[in-house]
Structure 1
Amino acid sequence: MLSAADNELLTRTGPGTPMGDLIRRFWIPALLASEVAEPGGAPVRVSLLGEKLVAFRSPDGSVGLLEARCPHRHASLFWGRNEEGGIRCVYHGWKFASDGQCLEMPAEPEDSSYRERVRAVAYPTHEAAGIIWAYLGPAELKPEFPDFEFARLPEGHFHASKRLQRCNYFQNVEGELDSAHVQFLHRTFGGYEAHGRVSLKSMDETENPVYTIEESGAGLMCVAERPYPQGGAYWRVTPFLMPTFTMVPSMVEAHNTFTAAIPIDDVSSWGFTITWRPERPFDEADWERDLGGLTLHVKVDPETFIPERNRENNFLIDREAQHTTNFTGIMGTRNQDLPVQEDQDGAICDRTTEHLGTTDRAIVAARRLMLRSAKSLQKGTEPPQAQNSAAYNMRSFSGPGTADQGWRELWETAQPKSTQPVS
């Protein structure tokens, strides 16, 4: 369990909070590139870490991300005109470049230099893998963009999605790191062909896994080892990447999966998922079988990003299917995660009354790392992971190994060629 003070520190991410300051030291997903697909198109509202922002793709194709409030009289730039070189507030015509510099003040005297002294709050962006990423931290500390494998792949080799989660971001993070829940929450009573995901019947579900947690250059390596019926062990290696990212071992062969839990505010978050495959592009069969909402992506309302299965319709739970088809009666891996995370003691879980077990070692380690890093930052020590771009070039791993093979040997064989050492 956590103390009330640590739970407060862990879950509050608004401007000026210790955890908010920590997350702002990293590049984070802000919105899907498809939301601002058209150069010169309409601005889009974006909410991140308690800040109200506006994103827009300029006619030249670059993406700006500004505070929604116009510095003049705080009218929202969401209503603004996306013009060559910047966005113009419709209230009085002040125009701002993507870096926040005021370019024009039409009503001011022609010889006035006032505009040179006015800037809108602006954040750098980086487009990669179908996502617009943002850096919200101090400009002088802006790190190199992480060397994600998926960020270097051509179009067609990745698929990105976004969903609204109506709970604190860390409830999603903990779910991604919880290997023990897989054999229950995601258990099926049949095979992959019938239910869109891998059956766990080939594994000994009665055996308790053994957990190993190690720190890495990007965060943590969370390892679960289970006995394998054919001999040896079945390994599940889940990297936790600072500040709120995970590489989830895929339940579908030949796919790699990245997830990010990004706070909107303290009671809601964006869940981003990127599935990628370097070897060949995804095709229609991949979409129908794996990417259409039955694995770690979900079908959402295209305007609100609320999942089609949500708390208002009880996630379309089928109580009959719960006895005959799968453990939950809810179809889809991510769809099964959502209800238990959103209904986990409310939007902000009270961790002071938990009773943690041995299966929660990865969760405990992630909490400690985040809390330690936030407290250290308040004392002036920057998080080293933010400046270690190369450490983010990795994949997860799941699969069997012989009795004489350890997790590290198996994990390393699955990595991109240029992956750096874990430590």
Structure 2
Amino acid sequence: MLSREDNDFLTQSGPGTPMGALMRRFWMPALLGAELPERDGPPKKIRLLGEDLLAFRASDGRVGIVEPHCPHRGANLYYGRNEECGLRCAFHGWKFDVDGNCIDLPTSPPESSYKDTIKLLAYPTREWGDIVWAYMGPREHMPELPQLEFGLVPAASRYVTKKWQDCNWVQSLEGGIDTAHFSFLHAVLTRDEKEALALYSRSAALGDQSRPDDRIRWVRNDPRPKFSVLGHETGLVIGGARRTDTTDLYWRIAQFLMPNHAFAPAAMPGEVYYGQCWVPVSDTDCWIYTYSWRPDRPFTNAERTQFAGGFGVHAEVDSDYMPLRNLRNDYLLDRQIQKRETFTGIQGVSEQDAAIQDSQGPVQDRTREHLGPTDIGIVEFRKLVMGAARALQRGEEPRATRAAKRYAVRSGGWVADPAKDLAAVMTERFGHRHGYVGHEHGLGE
């Protein structure tokens, strides 16, 4: 458990907070590129790390993310005109580009240099991997974009979505790296292997199911995986080993990447890789960006249709990215299905996760928790991010910001001899003890 002070330290990310300062040293997903489909289109209100902002796509295609209030007399630029590479205030026509520069001041004499002294707060942006990223920290410490593999593969080989979540980002992320819950939360009740396969395949709970009967049985029969954790430059490798039908162990290995990314543990070779990024809106809600990718080939239309169906890792959402099954309608929990078919009676892996994470409250009270042996990954995650935030308070920059290429890692499943430790299993599975695959994308070693 944590003290009240430590729980606040861990979960608060607004301006002026230690964790907020840490997160602002990294590039944050701000919105999907598809949310700004039109050059000179209407600006979009966004909220990121407790800050109200506006996003707009300029005439040249660049995206600006700026404070919403004009520095003249505080009018909201949301009501302004997006035209000719700038956002013009509807009140007196002051105009600003994507970098916050005042490029037209029609209320001042033409010869005046006053506009050169006016600046609108603007955050640097990059559009990459179907996401618009923003950097909200000190310019002198701005790092390279993290080279996550989903952004390195061709666009046809990735699928990116987002969804709203009604709780603090930390408890949702902790649910993502807690792979022990798969024996329960995503379980089916039937013992019939074919029926279990059909239910699991519908929810995509274990990846593509190359040997689904074995993996379903192993996860169901061993609810006490033994965990090991490896630290590396950009995060943690979190491996949980379960018993199989032989003396071998079935490893499900997740990755946590600073400060708010995690990769799912299920994929075997030739299957789909999944990752998520949790971005605080405020201290009591967040956006979750979910990305799937195939390093070996493009996705088929059938695979994309399956993702869009919203019963797996990608949630089924409305036009505002609100999940159709959410806190407001109790995730459409069906007690008859819960009684006879699935552990929760809720459809969709994403929704099953959300229901439990939201049920912990807007911000989980960690002063009352009692951790156990399967929570090692949670403990190490907290130590890492809180340690990095405290180090930043002492003036030490987070080392992950200097290792953008080391974000090109993979997670996944593997069956291995019990004599092999996690590092050996990772090397056997991925060719690198930390799952680094940068050589495949020309990043070097």
Residue 367 of structure 1: aligned partner: 382
CA distance in 1, matches of 2:324, 2:253: 30
Mark the runs of 5 or more structure 2 residues left unpaired by the alignment. 207-211
Q: In the alignment, is the contact (CA less than 8 A) between 2:278 and 2:288 conserved in 1?
A: yes
Residue 407 of structure 1: aligned partner: 425
1:5-31 alpha-carbon deviations (Å, 9 max, x no partner): 110111111111111000000011110
Residue 272 of structure 1: aligned partner: 289
Q: Aligned to 1:191, what secondary structure does the other structure show? A: helix
Q: In the alignment, is the contact (CA less than 8 A) between 2:408 and 2:438 conserved in 1?
A: no
Letter in 2 for 1:227: R
CA distance in 2, matches of 1:46, 1:330: 30
Residue 196 of structure 2: aligned partner: 191
Q: In the alignment, is the contact (CA less than 8 A) between 2:183 and 2:219 conserved in 1?
A: no
Residue 50 of structure 2: aligned partner: 50
TM-score (normalizing by structure 2): 0.90
- Which of the residues 415, 418, 422 maps onto 2:439? 418
Residue 118 of structure 1: aligned partner: 118
Q: Name which of structure 1's ranges 314-323 and 282-291 shifts more when overlaid on structure 2.
A: 282-291
Deviation of 1:206 after TM superposition, in Å, equals 4.1
Are residue 257 (structure 1) and residue 274 (structure 2) matched? yes
Q: Aligned to 1:90, what secondary structure does the other structure show? A: coil
Q: Name which of structure 1's ranges 355-364 and 402-411 shifts more when overlaid on structure 2.
A: 402-411
Are residue 314 (structure 1) and residue 335 (structure 2) matched? no
Residue 219 of structure 1: aligned partner: 235
Letter in 2 for 1:9: F
Q: Name which of structure 1's ranges 258-267 and 187-196 shifts more when overlaid on structure 2.
A: 187-196
The 1:204–1:337 alpha-carbon spacing in structure 2 relative to 1, beyond 3 Å, is: closer
Letter in 2 for 1:244: N
State how many pairs are aligned.
Answer: 420
CA distance in 2, matches of 1:161, 1:358: 33
CA distance in 2, matches of 1:295, 1:250: 13
Residue 71 of structure 1: aligned partner: 71
The 1:204–1:51 alpha-carbon spacing in structure 2 relative to 1, beyond 3 Å, is: closer
Q: Aligned to 1:271, what secondary structure does the other structure show? A: strand
CA distance in 2, matches of 1:66, 1:102: 12
Mark the runs of 5 or more structure 1 residues left unpaired by the alignment. none
Q: Aligned to 1:103, what secondary structure does the other structure show? A: strand
Q: Aligned to 2:162, what secondary structure does the other structure show? A: strand
Q: In the alignment, is the contact (CA less than 8 A) between 1:323 and 1:329 conserved in 2?
A: yes
1:17-56 alpha-carbon deviations (Å, 9 max, x no partner): 1110000000111101110011111111111001111111
Are residue 282 (structure 1) and residue 287 (structure 2) matched? no
Larger proportion of helix: 2
Letter in 1 for 2:272: H
Q: Aligned to 2:160, what secondary structure does the other structure show? A: strand
1:98-121 alpha-carbon deviations (Å, 9 max, x no partner): 111111111112222111111111
Residue 146 of structure 1: aligned partner: 146
Q: In the alignment, is the contact (CA less than 8 A) between 1:87 and 1:97 conserved in 2?
A: yes
TM-score (normalizing by structure 1): 0.95
CA distance in 2, matches of 1:192, 1:51: 45
CA distance in 1, matches of 2:156, 2:309: 15
Are residue 8 (structure 1) and residue 8 (structure 2) matched? yes
The 1:410–1:302 alpha-carbon spacing in structure 2 relative to 1, beyond 3 Å, is: farther
Q: Name which of structure 1's ranges 24-33 and 318-327 shifts more when overlaid on structure 2.
A: 318-327
CA distance in 1, matches of 2:36, 2:348: 28
Backbone CA RMSD of aligned residues: 2.0
Q: Name which of structure 1's ranges 167-176 and 201-210 shifts more when overlaid on structure 2.
A: 201-210
Q: In the alignment, is the contact (CA less than 8 A) between 2:21 and 2:389 conserved in 1?
A: yes
Q: In the alignment, is the contact (CA less than 8 A) between 1:129 and 1:274 conserved in 2?
A: no
CA distance in 2, matches of 1:5, 1:53: 29
Alignment of 1:6-405 (within 5 A): 6-188=6-188, 189=190, 190-195=195-200, 196=202, 197=204, 198=206, 200-203=215-218, 205-207=220-222, 208-250=224-266, 254-303=271-320, 305-344=321-360, 346-405=361-420
